[in-house]
Structure 1
Amino acid sequence: MKDLGNLKYFLRIEVLRSKRGIFISQKKYVLDLLTETGMIDCKPIDTPLMMNHELQIIEGADPTDQTLYQKLVGKLIYLSHTRPDLAYAAGVVSRFMHKPHKHHLEAVYKILRYLKKTPGRGVMFEKHGHLDLHAFTDADWGGYRDSRKSTSGYFTLVGGNLVTWKSKRQKVDAMSSAEAEFRGIAKGITEVLWIRKLLTELGYAPKKSYKL
């Protein structure tokens, strides 16, 4: 084995160290993606996806290049490994990879315009003197218009630092907003229990209750 020193760049993920802590991002990956798609000089926007976007499969709508669409969405999904702000938007556009239309591709390009404004965003890890675990969950109700399924999401903080996050469509139809929320809470609890077990195996067994 050979000591290569502190990690700086791995699988297109940049690792920056300072007195404040460790910052991970994919700025170069974002700039390369914008250059590759011809969006490097595009007009930036403030949000990756409009609220109540109403994206769905519309019969008779103009189709688009499926290979191009799948390639771009795949890159956005990989980018969401260091960009929690893209998790929901990437999840939405990935629903149409089997049958993309032009309005779906337009939504992808809007995400690229958002990236033009925020190329250097990432995740910061700082020392806060504790390993308290907090988790937050949320869910919509019937937001997926093609099947009326709901979308739930969660993120977890360990020691005040963001460590996991996820946004995913629920597998069954929720009969009420309360049911959709409870299913989202169940996913959050599952993640908390997994992190709790992992911390215990690493020698940092929890000393108090976790908050959801």
Structure 2
Amino acid sequence: MIITGGDTEEIERLKGSLFQEFEMKGLGNLKYFLGIEVLRSEWGIFLRQKKYTLDILAETGLLDCKLVDTPILVNHDLQISEGAELANQGKYQRLVGKLIYLSQTRPDISYAVGIVSQFMHRSQKDHYEAALRIVKYLKETVGHGIMFKKNKQGGVYGYTDADWASNPVDRRSKVGYFTFVDGNLVTWRSKSRRWSLYPVLQ
């Protein structure tokens, strides 16, 4: 169980109540949980999945790969093409599943992962190569993560964008958003959606 909050006295009271009801003990400050490393400093808390990323590189045989600067090509034009060579379905789904979990601390790959995850049901060779490109990008950025800084900046801010019906097959748009709370990134997502046009009544 992870307990977090800003009131240390209340946390201690909660822990005391839990210890009375259940056979459990405190393990101190959180350092590692489900593949996520928690690093503390005077500036705040840093979350990363370095070991998890290295495991992906090792599993795909890309520890010594050539580096790439971006997780996906600009104007990638990925789609399901008739007659194209199929990828190994199980292998593809396993890799993309791992990348989806990694994107919890890596907002920089969320768009690319969102693209390759669209082809889980019928993955083709170029889709698998696009997923491997994300892994190659990870080699150069293996220590990256997300920082929650201690600061006095208040407020909640959100940003969003869309590429407006870029998918040539179903005319879906790619939509992305992220939000900040007190200056720290807390949510982000990239997904496909279909837009509906409604008449404006006056």
TM range (shorter): 0.7 to 0.9
Q: Deviations over 1:69-89 (max 9, x none)?
A: 000000000000000011111
Within the alignment, does 1:88 sit opposite 2:111 as a pair? yes
Aligned match for 1:2, one of 16, 25, 42: 25
**What CA RMSD, in Å, does the superposition of the two structures yield over aligned residues?**
1.3
SS of equivalent residue, structure 1 residue 167: strand
Q: CA deviation at 1:145?
A: 2.4
SS of equivalent residue, structure 2 residue 83: coil
Question: 1:20-99 to 2 correspondence within 5 Å?
Answer: 20-99=43-122
Aligned match for 2:139, one of 87, 107, 116: 116
Within the alignment, does 1:18 sit opposite 2:41 as a pair? yes
Unpaired runs of 5+ residues, structure 1, are: 180-212
Q: Deviations over 1:60-108 (max 9, x none)?
A: 0001100000000000000000000111111100000100110111101
Aligned match for 1:143, one of 160, 166, 182: 166
User: Given that residues 64 and 100 in structure 1 are in contact (C-alpha distance below 8 angstroms), is that contact kept between their aligned partners in structure 2?
Assistant: yes
Q: TM-score w.r.t. structure 2 length?
A: 0.84
Unpaired runs of 5+ residues, structure 2, are: 1-23
Q: TM-score w.r.t. structure 1 length?
A: 0.80
Count of residue correspondences:
175
Q: Identical aligned pairs, as a percentage?
A: 58
Q: Deviations over 1:110-136 (max 9, x none)?
A: 111100110111100111114311111
Runs of 4+ residues over 4 Å off in structure 1: none
Q: CA deviation at 1:51?
A: 1.3
Q: CA deviation at 1:2?
A: 1.1
